[in-house]
Amino acid sequence: MITVFGEGRGFRVVWLLEEMGLAYRLRPVDLLVGVEHDAEFLAINPAGFIPAIQDGDVTMVESIAIMEYLIARYGPTPLAPAPHDPAFPAYQQFLHLGEAGLAAIMYIVVVSRNLAPEAERHNWGARKALEIFKNRLRLVTRQLARSPYLAGDRFTAADISVTYALEFAQRSGRFTLGEAEQAYVTRTSERGAYKRAMETCKDTKAWVAKLAGQ
């Protein structure tokens, strides 16, 4: 049984597990209460960030690396084109862009705006991060003008990666998506596996419901 520790970007991992039909359990990690009180989790990830997984003797962090691990170990799956497939380069690029180029950059904006002392909320670093996010997003916009999914006509794990980043920007960064990105997120989040992942990720579900009520 695979254990996923924490929601946040753990949503990507849970969504992938649902898409692949693999058995798992979600073990909540409450960052707001403080991981310093969660010795069991700190034994898994002493760096204290989420998500992490435990799969037998394997423990791992980094949501994209975890997805690559699960696909390599429990695939093959149509969620990951094979290296010789013409869709592979775009797949690989957007799988990583979703975190390195989008979510990780937006994270700086989100923590600055929501957690920084009042006077530091619109600091230079956060403004620069938002500008970088918008620039990186152009790659997504161009790709969506070419194909319905980021690696072509078929939904892949790259779409899990980028959908999470776009929804994170929208929900936590109050970022307004363009028409093409909004239509894309509506399309990807209509999948049964996405909906099941949302049912599992109760904190994420509650957060989304709270935003919808505002």
Using CB under 6 A as the criterion, which residues of the chain lie in contact with ligand GSH when the complex forms? Answer: 8-9, 31, 48-51, 62-64, 99, 104, 107
CB of 108 to ligand GSH, least distance (A): 10
Considering beta carbons, is residue 14 or 152 the nearer one to ligand GSH? 14
Are the C-beta atoms of residues 99 and 166 closer than 8 Å to each other?
no
CA atoms within 13 A on the CB side of 56: 2
CB of 137 to ligand GSH, least distance (A): 18
CB of 49 to ligand GSH, least distance (A): 3
Strand extents, DSSP E, 69-194? none
Alpha-carbon dihedral sign for residues 174, 178, 179, 182: negative
CB of 100 to ligand GSH, least distance (A): 8
CB of 13 to ligand GSH, least distance (A): 9
Find tokens 């989420």 and name the residue: 50
Considering beta carbons, is residue 137 or 152 the nearer one to ligand GSH? 137
Considering beta carbons, is residue 4 or 80 the nearer one to ligand GSH? 4
Cis peptide before 28 (omega within 30 of 0): no
Q: By beta-carbon distance, which residue lies closest to ligand GSH?
A: 8
Considering beta carbons, is residue 31 or 180 the nearer one to ligand GSH? 31
CB of 187 to ligand GSH, least distance (A): 23
Q: How far apart are CA 76 and CA 19, in angstroms?
A: 12
Considering beta carbons, is residue 9 or 27 the nearer one to ligand GSH? 9
* 37, 78, 123 from 5: Cα distances, Å: 15, 26, 32
Q: How far apart are CA 2 and CA 88, in angstroms?
A: 27
- In the chain, what's the furthest Cα-to-Cα distance? 51
Considering beta carbons, is residue 49 or 88 the nearer one to ligand GSH? 49
